[in-house]
Structure formats: C-alpha cells, structure tokens
C-alpha cells in the first residue's frame, strides 16, 4: 500500500469509530486526541480494526506511533508495503 492508501484506510477507520467527527480538516501532524473526541477505547478500536483488516500485530509499546495521521502512516508503511488495497 502507498502512503496515500494507508492514509485513506485510516480515515475510513476513523469515520467508522467517530462518525460525528469532521475529518475534512484533519491536520496530519497533530495528535488525533487533540483534534478528535477519541477516548482510549476508540483508540483501541482503531488498533483492532487495523489488526482485523490487515492481520498485523501492533504491540502495545508501539501505540505511541499511532498518535497522529503522519506518525501512523509512517509506522504502518513498512508493515503494509506488500499489501494490496482490496
């Protein structure tokens, strides 16, 4: 997957988890929690959805890498580089 495909995938997951949020103004460099009303369960839902969709394991120690869109894409890019978008 390309970086743009990963970003779109994360946006898709965020739309499911936080359907009332306006994602059109999302700043990729700012932490999700500073922009969106996400609690810890919402964050875990993001991790679980990534696991379900792509069968990747994300250790709890790496959750910090999923704080913003840019850090999430950067973290996921090597994990998903050989995955084709379905």
pLDDT in tens, 63-86: 999 999 999 999 999 998 877 655
* Number of Cβ atoms within 10 Å of the Cβ of 26: 17
pLDDT in tens, 19-77: 999 999 999 999 998 999 888 899 999 999 999 998 888 999 999 999 999 999 999 99
Asked if residue 21 lies in contact with residue 14, where contact means CB atoms within 8 angstroms, the answer is yes
| Threshold 0.85, pTM exceeds | yes
Class of domain 3-80: mainly alpha
Q: How far apart are CA 58 and CA 66, in angstroms?
A: 10
Q: How far apart are CA 66 and CA 57, in angstroms?
A: 13
Residue spans per domain, the chain: 3-80
For 32, counting Cβ atoms within 10 Å of its Cβ (0-12 exposed, 13-18 middle, 19+ buried), the class is buried
């Amino acid at each position: 997957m390309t970086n743009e495909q990963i970003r779109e995938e994360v946006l898709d997951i965020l739309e499911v988890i936080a359907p009332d949020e306006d994602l059109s103004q999302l700043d990729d460099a700012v932490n999700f929690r500073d922009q969106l009303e996400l609690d810890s369960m919402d964050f875990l839902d993001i991790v679980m959805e990534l696991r379900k969709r792509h069968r990747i394991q994300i250790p709890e120690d790496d959750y910090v890498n999923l704080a913003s869109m840019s850090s999430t894409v950067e973290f996921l890019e090597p994990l998903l580089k050989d995955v084709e978008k379905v």
